[in-house]
Amino acid sequence: MIDYNKYEAVIGLEVHAQLLTESKLFCSDSAAFGGAPNTHVSPITLGHPGTLPRMNQKAVEYAVKLGLACHCEIAAENYFARKNYFYPDLPKGYQVSQHTAPICVGGHVAITTAEGERNIQLNRIHLEEDAGKSLHDQEPDNTMVDYNRAGVPLVEIVTEPDLHTGDEAYAYLTALRRLVRYLGVCDGNMEEGSMRCDANISIRLKGATTLGTKVEVKNMNSIRNVKRAIENEVKRQIELVENDGTIVQETRSFDAANGSSFPLRSKEEANDYRYFPEPDLAPFRLTAAFLAAIKASLPALPDELVQLYTTQYGLPEYDARVLCDDKATADYFAQVIAVSPQYKAAANWLLGPVKQYLNEHSIGAEQFPLPAASLADLMGLVESGKVNFSIASSRIFPEMIQQPGKKALEIATALNLLQDTNADNITPIIDEVLAKYPGKVAEYKAGKKGLIGLFVGEVMKRSQGKADPKLTNQLLAERLK
């Protein structure tokens, strides 16, 4: 029997994130995803002789944004280097990268797991260009290459070997993806490959302080698959060691279909990249003014918002986390409470009817058709006691989405849904209800005061939710004296 608990896994993650710039890192070719193969490709992307790269300032801005949000130190002096290797998807025969001198150093990303909150330490964030794409499934005997992706700006975000479980990796990648989306620097889409993760994994006996031999696992196309790949690799390594085997430093590819991995290459086949400073690009310096402007442009980040919502707005931690899960929802919430500062009511609407609508239509909050001011208007109608929440959410809310120009009160009036505050209408219903439950009335009179709820509920039902609950309670209490 293998005692898996004797061991501790040590994991470092390398994430490549495509930056959402319009053009490529060193030329004006489109950096958009997709497009017919080899249409976003000028001689500069292909590195033809005589062409010269030119730095994309937006990419630098985005890298710095991410660096500041991750509490990194930002390097003022920067340059790029050539990483030389041959591969068909690399048209120039080298990749231009900041591998030797990253723009962002250190920093951390906060994660929350079942064990609580913790900072995952970063080693660096650096800029580099993406490679093209080899397509093996277009023709039976040939591999095709699409260079559209070549030269698209990437940041590589590298952690220290600071993670220990698949769950931590899952939480880290979720937090990182949320962050790049908040900042608008990357769409965070792992399925399309605009965010890609390689996991470096080793094991050691619990309590040991030295690092074991690492294995790098690649080709996971979702956060869930990164977690699966890590759990599978940790298990493989423990079983190997327990069976007197030796872990070799290698790169493996994860196969999501059967949940295991196979070796791609070993350390012996590793390249000597012959780094040297890119001679065609001048080193560049970030001025204090440039950094200050970026700092000033940073939006409120999810962790700060959760803090604000729980401490200042008194929202439960759960509500705050769900609201801040994506920026569009948080922005919408902010717009609602700007008009109507009923924090908990706004949260209930967003976590309830709005979220349900978004799920049913498979859209994000940015595509939600009802303006925030209209939702605030509807909340006001509930607050004033003119309709109850149940009627507002089930009847008026869908109607408002159909007719976004109309006021909540107009719709409620047109649909005859306004709460009845007229005692002359409610009293007869009360009499009907009391006549129907003589036994319960006797019990109530004998002291079982909780039964008032039953009577109120029955009156509400018979009035189709329109009887004003406060008035109903009053009238009932009088009738039952």
CA-CA distance, 335 to 371, in Å (whole number)?
9
Number of residues near ligand ADP (by CB under 6 A): 16
Range 213-252, binding ligand ADP (CB under 6 A)? 214
Which residue has its beta carbon closest to ligand ADP? 12
Query: Which residue number, 129 or 156, has a Cβ lying nearer to ligand ADP?
Result: 156
| Residue span 98-127 as binding mask against ligand ADP, x where in contact by CB under 6 A, dash where not | -------------------------x----
Cβ atoms of residues 191 and 221 within 8 Å: yes
Only one of the segments 77-85, 128-136, 153-161, 465-473 lies at the binding site for ligand ADP (rule: CB under 6 A); that segment is: 153-161
> For 273, phi and psi rounded to 5 degrees?
-80, -10
> For 378, phi and psi rounded to 5 degrees?
-65, -40
Cβ atoms of residues 58 and 263 within 8 Å: no
Only one of the segments 12-20, 176-184, 239-247, 399-407 lies at the binding site for ligand ADP (rule: CB under 6 A); that segment is: 12-20
Q: Which of 356, 402, 354 is nearest to 376 (CA)?
A: 354
> For 181, phi and psi rounded to 5 degrees?
-70, -40
Q: How far is the CB of 192 from ligand ADP (least distance, A)?
A: 23
Q: How far is the CB of 366 from ligand ADP (least distance, A)?
A: 33
- Chosen residue from 6, 8, 14, 480 binding ligand ADP by CB under 6 A: 14
456 binds ligand ADP (CB under 6 A): no
158 binds ligand ADP (CB under 6 A): yes
Q: How far is the CB of 202 from ligand ADP (least distance, A)?
A: 3
Cβ atoms of residues 364 and 349 within 8 Å: no
Q: How far is the CB of 217 from ligand ADP (least distance, A)?
A: 11
Residues 239, 242, 243: CA angle, nearest 5 degrees: 85
Q: Which of 229, 179, 235 is nearest to 13 (CA)?
A: 229
- Chosen residue from 10, 104, 157, 226 binding ligand ADP by CB under 6 A: 10
Other residues' Cβ atoms within 10 Å of the Cβ of residue 317: 11
CA-CA distance, 285 to 168, in Å (whole number)?
36
211 binds ligand ADP (CB under 6 A): yes
Query: Which residue number, 213 or 463, has a Cβ lying nearer to ligand ADP?
Result: 213
160 binds ligand ADP (CB under 6 A): yes
Whole-angstrom Cα Rg for the chain: 30
Residues that bind ligand ADP (CB under 6 A): 10-14, 123, 158-161, 200-202, 211-212, 214
